């Protein structure tokens, strides 16, 4: 077993983990935070997306032991108490989900996406200056599948908060 200590949604947590434990399983099984979802467990669906040290990653493909000292934000950390983030509110008001299973990953991914746009990070469809539009959102969200097919409303929800603090 290996000791790990990390910051999860602003709180320092410590645990002993088997080297094989994924960051996703640490969050869900050991730390009792089931918000991040296990969809494919192979980095293909994005349901497990969390934000580590400011960037979004697939927590299913990441070993917990390798995250000692990191700062992790999960879907549980997006709201301020009972007050939802602008993006969470937009997902509600735009019907950006049906079954909801992919939603935590979609929210973490979109939250990080808005920061990437602010930092001016390009995507493959960027031509010159980085701006947020539907084409950019569809490209940048391609790592988050939604089998209910709520994509149109997800794009609308993200577009609606563009320019606002996420």
Partner 1 sequence: MKPFDYVRAGSAQEAVRAGAEGRFLGGGTNLVDLMKLEIERPDKLVDVSRLATEEIEDGDDGLLVGAGVSNSALAGHPLVRERYPLLSTALLSGATQQLRNKATVGGNFLQRTRCQYFYDVFRACNKREPGSGCDALDGINRFHAILGASEHCIAVHPSDMAVAMAALDATVETLKPDGSTRSIPARSLHRLPGDTPHIDHVLEAGELITHVVLPASPPKRQLYRKVRDRSSYAFAVVSIALALDLQDGRLANVSIALGGVAHKPWRAERAEGILEDSRPDAELFANAADAELAHAVGHGHNDFKIDLSRRLIVAALRDLSESKREIAA
Mode of pairing for the β-strands spanning 2-8 and 71-73 = parallel
Q: 93 vs 131, which CB is nearer to partner 1?
A: 131
For position 161 contacting partner 1 by CB under 8 A, the verdict is no
The count of chain residues that interact with partner 1, using the rule CB under 8 A, is: 34
Closest approach of partner 1 to the CB of residue 52, in Å: 8
| Stretch 62-101: interaction string toward partner 1, x if CB under 8 A | xx-xx-x---------------------------------
30: contact with partner 1 by CB under 8 A = no
Each residue 122-141 as x (binds partner 1 by CB under 8 A) or -, in order, gives: xxx-------------xxx-
Burial of 126 (0-12, 13-18, 19+ CB in 10 A): middle
Is 115 near partner 1 (CB under 8 A)?
A: no
DSSP string across the chain: -EEEEEEETTEEEEEEE-TT-BHHHIIIIIS--TTS--SSSSSSS-TTEEEETTEEEEGGGSBGGGGTT-EEE-GGGTSBTTB--HHHHHHHHTT--SS-SSHHHHHHHHHHHHHHHHTT---TT--SS----HHHHHHHTTT---TT--HHHHHHHHHHHTTS--
Q: Binding partner 1 by CB under 8 A: which of 22, 73, 74, 111?
A: 22
Figure out which of the listed residues 113, 114, 157, 158 binds partner 1, where binding follows CB under 8 A: 113
Q: Which residues bind partner 1 (CB under 8 A)?
A: 2, 18-20, 22, 41-43, 46, 49, 55-58, 61-63, 65-66, 68, 109, 112-113, 116, 120-124, 138-140, 142-143
């Amino acid at each position: 077993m290996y000791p790990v200590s990390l910051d999860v949604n602003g709180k320092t947590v410590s645990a002993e983990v088997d080297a094989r434990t994924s960051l996703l399983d640490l969050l869900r099984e050991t730390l009792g935070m089931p918000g991040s979802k296990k969809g494919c467990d192979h980095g293909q669906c994005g349901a497990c997306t969390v934000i580590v040290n400011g960037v979004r990653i697939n927590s299913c493909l990441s070993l917990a032991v390798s995250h000692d000292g990191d700062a992790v934000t999960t879907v549980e950390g997006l709201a301020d108490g009972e007050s939802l983030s602008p993006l969470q509110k937009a997902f509600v008001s735009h019907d950006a989900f049906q079954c909801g299973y992919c939603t935590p990953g979609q929210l973490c991914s979109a939250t990080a996406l808005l920061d990437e746009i602010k930092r001016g990070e390009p995507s493959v469809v960027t031509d010159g200056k980085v701006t947020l539009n539907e084409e950019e959102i569809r490209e940048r969200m391609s790592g988050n599948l939604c089998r209910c097919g709520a994509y149109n409303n997800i794009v609308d929800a993200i577009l609606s908060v563009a320019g606002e603090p996420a």
